[in-house]
Amino acid sequence: MNGAQDLGGMMGFGPIEIEADEPLFHHAWEKRAMAVTLAAGACGMWTIDRSRFTRESLPPAQYLTKSYYDIWITALERLLAQTGMADETEISAGRAMSPPLTTPNKLMAADVAAALAKGTSCSRPLSRPARFAPGDAVRTKVMHPTTHTRLPRYARGKLGVIESVRGAFVFPDANAHGGGEHPQWVYTVRFSAAELWGDGADANSTVSIDAFEPYLERA
């Protein structure tokens, strides 16, 4: 969706606020927000793609002014309500008033180290061959789905070159909406700055995205 998360090329946000010796967390609640988000996600009631879509679905004025962990927490509240894990009354009261759902998993303290070290691979086997090879010229599609996509607006309808074939991965555009994993080939596609940004672009810089095959057409 063309939400506030799709920031590439926007202007007006001012200088980057670089903080010397930045602490890992700025407030005690941020630690708990990070951990509660990860632990709730580990219940297995939603995918990472759905959680990204939930975050980017926040109204732009909220997305652009909330701190990042507040975005996480706000999205978590929505996901809990959407999945029926908790209702809005429970969420605002901060206590359980109805029995829990059965979830596929529960992350126990003893399993944290192993779970983090293992991670969650998004790579999937795919029997059909990759359509493109390194060096191929491709054009990204022009599309404006109201649903989740990982093709940024600045890179739509642009001419690029396949730099690498990265393997087949879960397709977020489908998986975010309960449509299944539908694995797709992923390519690193490189664009000249001039192709993306036109006159005045840096003559000696390029930008690559990692593009799922359905985003690309042969050029």
Partner 1 sequence: MIDHDDDQDHSEMSEVASRVRALETLLTEKGYIDPAALDALIETYETKVGPRNGARIVARAWSDPAFRARLMTDATNAAAELGYSGRQGEHLVAVENTDERHNLVVCTLCSCYPWSVLGLPPVWYKSPSYRSRAAIDPRGVLVEFGVALPARKEIRVWDSTAELRYLVVPQRPPNTDGWSEEQLAALVTRDSMIGVGLAISPGDAGALR
| 7 belongs to the binding site for partner 1 (CB under 8 A) | yes
Residue closer to partner 1 by CB (options 47, 136) is 47
The site for partner 1, by CB under 8 A, has a size of 97
Could you say which of 78, 141, 150, 177 contacts partner 1 (CB under 8 A)?
150
Could you say which of 46, 47, 55, 175 contacts partner 1 (CB under 8 A)?
55
If residue 137 lies in a helix (H) or strand (E), which one and from where to where?
Answer: strand 137-140
Can you tell me which residue has the tokens 């649903």?
147
The order of strands in the sheet holding 137-140 is: 184-192, 159-169, 137-140, 216-218
Going by C-alpha positions, the residue among 177, 149, 178 that lies closest to residue 1 is 149
Residue 197 has φ and ψ, to the nearest 5°, of -120, -5
Residue closer to partner 1 by CB (options 31, 128) is 31
Q: Check: CB of residue 133 under 8 Å from CB of residue 165.
A: yes
Q: Could you give the CA distance from residue 101 to residue 23 in angstroms, rounded to a whole number?
A: 37
Q: Which of these segments, 33-41, 129-137, 173-181, binds partner 1 (CB under 8 A)?
A: 33-41
Could you say which of 132, 196, 213, 216 contacts partner 1 (CB under 8 A)?
196
Kindly write down the DSSP assignment for every residue of 19-54, as one continuous string.
-TT--S-SSHHHHHHHHHHHHHHTTSSS-HHHHHHH
Q: Which of these segments, 19-27, 127-135, 174-182, binds partner 1 (CB under 8 A)?
A: 19-27
**Footprint of partner 1 on residues 86-145 (CB under 8 A)?**
86, 90-96, 100, 103, 106-109, 111-113, 115-123
Could you say which of 2, 27, 137, 178 contacts partner 1 (CB under 8 A)?
27
**Footprint of partner 1 on residues 56-95 (CB under 8 A)?**
56, 64, 67-70, 73, 76-77, 80, 85-86, 90-95
Q: Which of these segments, 52-60, 127-135, 174-182, binds partner 1 (CB under 8 A)?
A: 52-60
Going by C-alpha positions, the residue among 209, 200, 203 that lies closest to residue 166 is 209
Could you say which of 50, 132, 136, 152 contacts partner 1 (CB under 8 A)?
152
